[in-house]
Amino acid sequence: MTVLFDGQVFLFEFNVVEMNPAGAALQQIKTQGYVDKYKARGEPIHLIGVEFSKANRNMAGVEVEPISIE
């Protein structure tokens, strides 16, 4: 999911932890190159990996990483 808000870009990836290892959501944003098409905007970009637990039916973790555009 991409949110363009207040001159910033927020890229979200949602994963289920029982199906993927911890940290996979944020890594998927990076390896799939989801950020590439937003770099030309020249706005701050924030990568946000959100992980849910199917067993607990709740959020299991969130990782946030701002990236610099060069």
Per-domain residue ranges of the chain: 2-67
- The whole-angstrom separation of Cα 47 and Cα 58 is 21
Q: Model-level pTM?
A: 0.86
Q: Please, are residues 64 and 48 in contact by the beta-carbon 8 Å criterion? A: yes
HSE value, Cβ hemisphere, 13 Å, CA-based, for 50: 9
Mean pLDDT value across residues 50-63: 89
pLDDT of 8 over the 90 cut: yes
Mean pLDDT value across residues 62-70: 86
pLDDT of 52 over the 70 cut: yes
Tell me which residue of 34, 31, 12, 15 sits closest to 23, measured CA to CA: 15
Q: Please, are residues 64 and 46 in contact by the beta-carbon 8 Å criterion? A: yes
Q: Please, are residues 4 and 28 in contact by the beta-carbon 8 Å criterion? A: no
